[in-house]
Structure 1
Amino acid sequence: MTPSDDRARPRTGWAVTALSLGTLLNPLNSSMIAVALVPLQHDFGVDVTAVTWVITSFYLASAAGQPLMGRLADRFGPRRLFLFGMVVVALACAVTPFSGSFAAVCAGRVALAIGTATAFPSAIAMLRPLAAQSGVGTPRLLGRIQIANTSGAAIGPVLGGALVTFLGWQAIFWVNVPLAALTFVGVQLFAPRDAERARTPLSRTLAESDIPGILLFVATLTSLLVFLLDLHPQPLWWLLPVCVVAAGLFVWRELRSTHPFLDLRLLAANRRLLMVYLCFAIFNVVYYSAFFGLPQYLQTHDGYSAGAAGLLMFPLAAVTIVVTPLAARAIESIGLRPTLLSGAVALVAGAALLAVAAITPAPWAVLLLTAALGIPYCVVSIAMNQALYSSARPEDSGVAAGIFQTSRYVGAIVATTVLGLLFSGGTTASSWLTAVTVATALAVVHLALLVFVRPRSPRAEQPAAA
């Protein structure tokens, strides 16, 4: 190790810390909102179906924004785009709490999603120069960012519950302002500067970003979601042909585009990879059904405060932080497939155990439920990430990772939509049991599908798991 390596490593450590904090903001904000749904309902006078749009709008913007921001990072430089994203986050979260309407809150969530969507693709792009200047392997640096992402989603309800209890729902926006400022300063001081890039016309960049494909993707999902969420009292039947036409145009566009938003040809040519996406989307439907549904049920049906509901989700965060490194080692020692199947079995058990909340809302019972849910969350998450890298061709790894993130958001959107439909008649023990039944059935489907997921041996890719 040279003296320059000794000097570079502390700087790299601070840079990775700042990048991790920035990438944490997206999963953190996706989960903090879980305990704020009931207060938002009361403050704005919206029903349980309408309030789900504060979640859905965030995921729609994230699903479309991540691949687009990755391409903009290539065009303008990842460091520059990362800093711009933190400015957007700070401004959006400073203004949104003063909104006078629920629609404005949803718009603020969209801006927050776009700002945080710049972080992950930009951070990944900066890992290579960081590894080169410090001598630390890229997989190790990536592992630190992955742990921050996993932990961020898990601690969201705990932090959100405390903020909503003492400061109101507005605080889940305000807390992002200092976090974004700290991230901005850290990246500004320690992250590697962007390399010189050939000047590419903005029109070419936008053309290669497949803006029409993104708009058609959002139009397809939005029209379908509005139709499902407005089934009562009178369905908006005209939205069905709109959804079908938008979906058809989306497929036509993606098959003809040389730079598609979602590479459908890649999926058709790699069935193993397609199965990974399908399983990961179903896993996220199960997980987010519990993640958003349980706090809402505890507050509405059992009278828990937002803070108490958030604290009852704490075992999920604690288990995630402890078990994630163990799951990575399990992949190395016993293999990817046994680890993935074990996590899927635990997911079925965890989903079924959620029915206990309808029998007894006692804190000790809920704590056990959230702890049981934490095990499959971290095991399946890290194993599915490894399955992605094992199934994708090296030359397709970038676009494959982008579609993987999109499948996560689609799963979360489906979960919030299902909860909105099931809770539209009231958040009761009966509706909760129905939600648990749906989640458990999907967990069984997830396990059955994994029988057909046969990624290549991870032995050659163990650093990625570590």
Structure 2
Amino acid sequence: MAVRRWPSSGRAYPKGYDLTVACRVLPSGERLLPAEYGGTASAYSGAVSDEPISPRRAGLGIAALSLGTLLNPLNSSMIAIALVTLREFFGLDVLTVTWVITAFYLASAAGQPLMGRLGDRFGPRRLFVFGMCVVVVACALTPFSPNFAFVCAGRVLLAIGTASAFPSAVSLLHPITSRSGLSSPRLLGRIQVANTAGAAIGPVIGGVLVTTLGWQAIFWINVPLAIIALVGVRLLAPADAPRDKAPLSTTLAQSDIPGILAFTGMLVSLLVFLLRMPTQPLWWLLAAAVVCGALFVWRELRGRHPFIDLRMLAGNRSLVIVYASFALFNLVYYCAFFGLPQFLEEHGEYRADATGLLMLPLAALNVLLTPFAARFIERRGVRVTLIGGGLWLVGSAMLLGLLAWSTAAFVPLLVTAAMGVPYCVVSIALSQALYSSARREQAGVASGIFQTSRYVGAILATTLLGIAFSDGTSPASWLEVTVVAAVLSAVLVPVLALWRPVSRRG
């Protein structure tokens, strides 16, 4: 095989680089790193060594990565049980206390693509370790906050720290699988178990911690978990490839701070407008959202290092379908996930701890079915799995309507069990579709936008529930949620059917 020298340095490829990662194969047989066809040597994210990794070590490394990815969904759902306690502790109204959730989602939505870009530039393992350090500091200090604003600030730091985990895990997946010989769908399944189960068991864990130790405990629990994940990845995950050192000013310029601000301004303006729409619409906020959106598109199309690469999306139809499907899927799922506890507590008169237990089938089925879903993908393919999971989601969404007639314990147990199946199947299939659609050199950025799609869906779901429950959580309002969820699920199925894998040749 012919070998070329790096244009940026003039030296030959370092011995041991995995040239099958993020490279272009010419007809002559030459393999070119990103620097040779428009990228930069510092963006190269291949393995440093071709030394094989034992399946045991690979499994432990994936377990550590999975623990890190668990923290973001765990904290996004665990906080729901602490809202009443936070209101009483700081003397807040309902509208104000919801910002502890909103701040986390907004920081996560903006942070995921940025973390993915930083991982591509500095290395996914370095980024993961840094993120876990941020989590430890934020969660050790936030319980001592003197006011609610500091709690929200701590949640923002927690979101930024945990946002590093999923992009890093996806970027590290290829060197782990290529050097261990393990199946990528199965390893993705383990990561997906952490992502989905973390969100599902959050209300149960949050209820126990808040009841026994107070709201501060939902922050403290993250400290030992983050330390274990940090140490595990540092010891077991493949080391990052060498990167070219760049000045801080260059790093900030390439992080596209104006694009991040325009994106965040668009989300905040739209969110506040939608929340106020049932009572007192603030139309100037809608205009501000449109202006920020236009500025965001203008900036991303003109910038050399866009925060969200719109040109990349325009040239990758499969990736756009993955993102749109994931946002729509999470819009349906979080309508049930956030709406069901409120309906059961206020209309069904269940206690918070009992409501958390009624959500357990969702987590249990997710853990049990994920290995089978991964094997099904290996045998039948991603597209068949996506369509089958989408059809099941339609039926599960329709079952939500049973709660309008009865809230006896067996009914929510049946509903949460039914929702657990598509949440497992569609989530892991879309993760594999992301892995099949994104180019290797863009894995970090692509996975970051993937998680942003999750949070956009969750934000829209909470807004929809706020509108539906504005006059109380009655059977009639729950039927409205059910109809919307069923219609959106039906729309999702043909969107999933449009997805096709991207050819890797060339």
Q: Give the direction of change, closer, same or farther, for the CA distance of 1:266–1:184 in structure 2 (3 Å limit).
A: closer
What corresponds to 2:211 in structure 1? 165
- Of 120-129 and 243-252, the range deviating more from structure 2: 120-129
Q: Give the direction of change, closer, same or farther, for the CA distance of 1:40–1:441 in structure 2 (3 Å limit).
A: farther
Is residue 2:317 matched to residue 1:271?
A: yes
- Which secondary structure does the structure 2 equivalent of 1:109 belong to? helix
Q: Larger helix proportion, structure 1 or 2?
A: 1
Larger radius of gyration: 2
Q: Give the direction of change, closer, same or farther, for the CA distance of 1:178–1:394 in structure 2 (3 Å limit).
A: closer
What corresponds to 1:301 in structure 2? 347
Residues 121-150 of structure 1 show CA distances to partners (whole Å, capped at 9, x for unaligned) of 233444455556656566654443333223
Taking the aligned partners of 2:446 and 2:399, their CA distance within structure 1 comes to 34
Q: Give the direction of change, closer, same or farther, for the CA distance of 1:115–1:45 in structure 2 (3 Å limit).
A: same
Q: Shift of the alpha carbon at 1:200?
A: 0.9
Taking the aligned partners of 2:466 and 2:150, their CA distance within structure 1 comes to 20
Q: Shift of the alpha carbon at 1:319?
A: 0.7
- Of 263-272 and 86-95, the range deviating more from structure 2: 263-272
Residues 23-65 of structure 1 show CA distances to partners (whole Å, capped at 9, x for unaligned) of 2111211222233334444444545444433222212111111
Q: TM-score, normalization: structure 2?
A: 0.82
Aligned residue among 275, 281, 284 for 2:327: 281
Q: Shift of the alpha carbon at 1:313?
A: 0.5
Residues 176-201 of structure 1 show CA distances to partners (whole Å, capped at 9, x for unaligned) of 11111222333344444444432111
What corresponds to 1:464 in structure 2? none
- Which secondary structure does the structure 2 equivalent of 1:36 belong to? helix
What corresponds to 2:302 in structure 1? 256
Taking the aligned partners of 1:77 and 1:276, their CA distance within structure 2 comes to 25
Q: What amino acid does structure 2 have at the position aligned with 1:329?
A: R
What corresponds to 2:409 in structure 1? 363
Aligned residue among 293, 311, 324 for 1:247: 293
What corresponds to 2:471 in structure 1? 425
Q: Give the direction of change, closer, same or farther, for the CA distance of 1:37–1:161 in structure 2 (3 Å limit).
A: same
Q: What amino acid does structure 1 have at the position aligned with 2:229?
A: T
Is residue 2:134 matched to residue 1:88?
A: yes
- Which secondary structure does the structure 2 equivalent of 1:355 belong to? helix
Q: What amino acid does structure 1 have at the position aligned with 2:386?
A: L
Aligned residue among 346, 352, 361 for 1:315: 361
Aligned residue among 368, 371, 379 for 1:333: 379
Q: Give the direction of change, closer, same or farther, for the CA distance of 1:16–1:52 in structure 2 (3 Å limit).
A: same
Taking the aligned partners of 2:170 and 2:316, their CA distance within structure 1 comes to 24
- Of 238-247 and 226-235, the range deviating more from structure 2: 226-235
Alpha carbon RMSD of aligned pairs, Å?
2.8
Taking the aligned partners of 2:480 and 2:146, their CA distance within structure 1 comes to 35
Taking the aligned partners of 1:281 and 1:92, their CA distance within structure 2 comes to 28
Q: Count matched residues.
A: 456
Q: TM-score, normalization: structure 1?
A: 0.88
Is residue 2:225 matched to residue 1:182?
A: no
What corresponds to 1:197 in structure 2? 243
What corresponds to 1:21 in structure 2? 67
Q: Residues 87 and 97 of structure 2 are in contact (CA less than 8 Å); yes or no, is this contact kept in structure 1?
A: yes
What corresponds to 2:500 in structure 1? 455
Q: Shift of the alpha carbon at 1:72?
A: 2.4
- Which secondary structure does the structure 2 equivalent of 1:340 belong to? helix
Q: Shift of the alpha carbon at 1:316?
A: 0.2
Taking the aligned partners of 1:271 and 1:191, their CA distance within structure 2 comes to 32
Aligned residue among 36, 39, 46 for 2:82: 36
Q: Residues 49 and 420 of structure 1 are in contact (CA less than 8 Å); yes or no, is this contact kept in structure 2?
A: no
What corresponds to 2:40 in structure 1? none
- Of 123-132 and 179-188, the range deviating more from structure 2: 123-132
What corresponds to 1:342 in structure 2? 388
